[in-house]
Amino acid sequence: MIPPVSGLSHNIPISSDQLLVGDEVIVILDDDPAIRESLHTYFSEQGLSVVSIEKAGDLIPVLESKNVALVLLDIGLPDADGTNVLPQITEKFPDVAIVMLSGIADIHVAVDCMRKGADDYLTKPVQFTEILVVVRRILEKRRLVFENRAYQEDLEQAHFRIQFLHQMSLKMNSVYLGAIELDELLRAILVGITAQEGLRFNRAFLVMFDEEKKFLVGRMAIGPDCREEAAHIWTEMQEKQFDLLGIIHNIGDQCSLGDQTVNTVIKSLRVPVTESEHILIRSAMERKSYKVQGGRASVPVSRELVDLLDEDTFVVVPLFAPGHPLGVIIADNYVTRQPIHDSHISVLELFASQASLAIEQSRLRHEMEEKISLLEEVTRELDENKDLLIESECYSALGQMAAQVVHVIRNPITSIGGVARILSKKVDETSEWKRFIDVMVKEADRLEVSLTELFDFVSHTESIKEDLPLNPILRRTLVLLQTNMSRQGIEWEMDLAEPDPVMHMDIGQIQQVFLNLFRNSIEAMANGGKLTITSLVEDGWVRVYVRDTGSGLKGDYWDKAKEPFFTTKTYGTGMGLTMVERYVTLHGGNFSFTQQDVGLEVQVNLPLTQASHEDS
C-alpha cells in the first residue's frame, strides 16, 4: 500500500520526486533503441527511476521483481503484439499504469486498448514533453486512487472500531460482568487490538493489580496465533451481521489454546508496587501512556521487562477507574516490526478505557454480591432468632408477674398459714372449730407450694451446655436490637477479642444475659448516645464490657440493682438483672457495674474452655 502524500490537492500538481514512492520504477518496453534510450535518459533527468527492455518476454519477470508503477508499452514488438501483452499486465498487476505507444494512428486500436485497461494511447512520433505530461497525469491519478483507497480503508476501520466499542458498551450495560464474562470481554478487547480490522498490533498483554494491590501481575495475552484466528472470525462477522457476543463465543477457546506461549510469558510478570520507578507502575499510577522505542522512553525502562517480552519497542497504556488504578495494556509489533504511531496509541487508549470500564463494573458487581450475601446472612440470622425477642418479652412479663405475685401474696399467705397452725395446736381435737382450722392450714400450704412452683418455673431452666464461640452470639444479639437503636439515634461499636474466645455455655442463657444488658443500655439512652461493646481474653477469662452514654444508675440504687423486686423506669422490671446474675453465676462467672462520667459500664467475666485458655 502506497502511503498518502501529505498536502495533496486536486489543484496543486505533485512534484516529480512524489510521482514515484520508494523503489517504484517506470518500465519502457520498445524495440527501437533510439526511442528507448532517449526516453530513459529524459526520464532520468526528470528524477524518475527507469528500467528499459526491448522484448515482451522480459516484461513479466521485471514486473515480478521490481515495484513497477507505470509501463510505456510499444504495440509493435518483435516477439509479441503489445495489445496481447496488455491483458496479461492488467490481470496480474492491476495497480500498474499503462501507456500504449504505436506508430499507427488507428482509433479502433486505441479504443480497444483503453477497454483492455490502458490508461492512455500515444502515436509516434511524439514529443518527450508530451509523454512526460501524460506520465505525470497518469501517475498523479494513480496516487489519488491509492490515497482514496487508503482513506476508504481508514474509514472502514474507524467505523468498525466504533461498532466494536459500541457493542462492548451494550454488552457491559446489559450484563452483570462476573469473572467468566469479564475474561471473555477482556479477551475480545485484546483481539480487537491485534486484529487486522482493529488496531493491527501483533501482540497485546493485559497486566493488572492483584487483590491486595501489592503486585502488578500478568493476566492474559494474545499473540500471532490467535491474531490469525481472530482475523478469520472478524471477516466472518463483517460478512454477516456484526455481533460482539458471537465474536466472544468464537474467539474464546481458540485463543486460549493458541496463545499458550504469550500467556506463559505474561503470567510470569510480577512487579511489586514498591518499585515506583518501573515503567508499568508509573503508567498505572500516573494514568499516562508511554511509548518505548529501542528500549528507551521518557522514563527508565526495565531491562527485565524488555527481556521478558523479547521486544524493545512497545507501548504501555494505563487502565484506571475513578479513584484507583487497575493495571496496564502492553502492545507491540513483535512480528511485523511496523512502527507505532501516536494515532495508534490514541485509539489504543480508547480500547483501554473500555477495558477499564469492564474491570470496574466487574469489581463493583463482586462487591455488591458480597454485600448482598452479608445481608442475606443477617436476614437468615434474624429469621432464626426472630422469636428470641418475643420470648424475652414474654419471659420478662412472666417474671414481673411472678415477682409481683410472690411479693404481694406470699407474705400474707405465710402469715395466715402460720396463725392457722398455731390455732390448730391450741384448739382441742374435739372442738368443732378444729375442722375449719385444719382446712385453713391445708389450703395455706397448697398456696405456698403453688407460689413456689410458679417462681421456680420462671426462674429455673435446664442448662444445655456446649463449647461455642462467643463473638457470633454477641453480634447476633446486638442485631436483634438494631431497630430500637436506629429509632433512638444510638450509635454502636464492637471491638471483640481475636481469635474468637470459646466457652462451655448454654447459648440461650448467655444470649439472654447480653440481651438484657444491651436492652438496659438502650433504654438508658432514650435521646440517643453510643453503645460500645468490647471484649478481651485475660488469664483464662473472657471479659465483656458493655458501656453506654445514658443516664447511669443513681447511688441509692447500687445495692438494690440486683434484687429480684427492684425496678426503675430506665432499667426494666428488675427480674432482668436477677436473671443476668443467675445465668452468669451458673456459668462460673460474675458481673459488676461501674459508673462512668457519662453513662454506665457493665463488666461480665466468664471462664474460657480449657482448650481455648491454652491457646490464649
* Nearest by Cα to 86 from 75, 70, 76: 75
Q: How far apart are CA 138 and CA 146, in angstroms?
A: 12
One-letter identity of residue 461: T
Q: Residue 247 in contact with residue 195, Cβ under 8 Å?
A: no
- For 388-399, b/e burial (b = at least 16 CB within 10 A) is beeebeebbeeb
pLDDT of residue 196: 64
17 vs 536, residue with greater confidence: 536
What value does the mean pLDDT take over residues 173-200? 67
Grid cell listed for 51: 528500467
pLDDT of residue 259: 58
Q: How far apart are CA 350 and CA 359, in angstroms?
A: 14
What value does the mean pLDDT take over residues 17-44? 86
16-150: CATH topology is: Rossmann fold (3.40.50)
Q: Residue 15 in contact with residue 48, Cβ under 8 Å?
A: no
pLDDT of residue 315: 94
Grid cell listed for 271: 512487579
- For 418-431, b/e burial (b = at least 16 CB within 10 A) is eebbebbeebeeee
The order of strands in the sheet holding 203-209 is 270-272, 215-222, 203-209, 324-332, 314-321, 290-292
Q: Are strands 490-495 and 529-538 parallel, antiparallel or unpaired?
A: parallel
Whole-number mean pLDDT of the chain?
79
What value does the mean pLDDT take over residues 541-553? 88
One-letter identity of residue 9: S
pLDDT of residue 245: 53
User: Which of 191-195, 340-344, 426-430 is the least confident region?
Assistant: 191-195
Q: How far apart are CA 469 and CA 535, in angstroms?
A: 13
Long-range contacts of 253-260 (CB under 8 A, 24+ apart): 254/226, 254/229, 255/187, 255/191, 255/222, 255/226, 255/229, 255/230, 256/187, 258/225, 258/226, 258/229, 259/221, 259/222, 259/223, 259/225, 259/226
User: Which of 48-57, 325-334, 383-392, 477-486 is the least confident region?
Assistant: 383-392
What are the pLDDT digits (tens) for 85-120? Answer: 889 888 899 889 999 888 777 888 888 888 888 888
What value does the mean pLDDT take over residues 19-43? 87
* Nearest by Cα to 477 from 458, 492, 464, 465: 492
Q: Residue 25 in contact with residue 69, Cβ under 8 Å?
A: yes
**CATH classification of 466-615, choosing from 3.30.565.10, 2.40.110.10, 3.30.200.20, 3.40.190.10?**
3.30.565.10
pLDDT for residue 10 is more than 50: no
Q: Residue 251 in contact with residue 231, Cβ under 8 Å?
A: no
* Nearest by Cα to 26 from 48, 41, 45: 48
pLDDT for residue 29 is more than 70: yes
Q: What is the DSSP string of 506-521?
A: -HHHHHHHHHHHHHHH
* Nearest by Cα to 481 from 364, 392, 411: 392
Strand partners, 604: 544, 591
CATH architecture designation of domain 160-367: 2-Layer Sandwich (3.30)
Grid cell listed for 444: 395455706
Q: How far apart are CA 84 and CA 87, in angstroms?
A: 6
Extents of the domains making up the chain? 16-150, 160-367, 369-459, 466-615
pLDDT for residue 456 is more than 60: no
Q: Residue 395 in contact with residue 519, Cβ under 8 Å?
A: no
Q: How far apart are CA 26 and CA 126, in angstroms?
A: 18
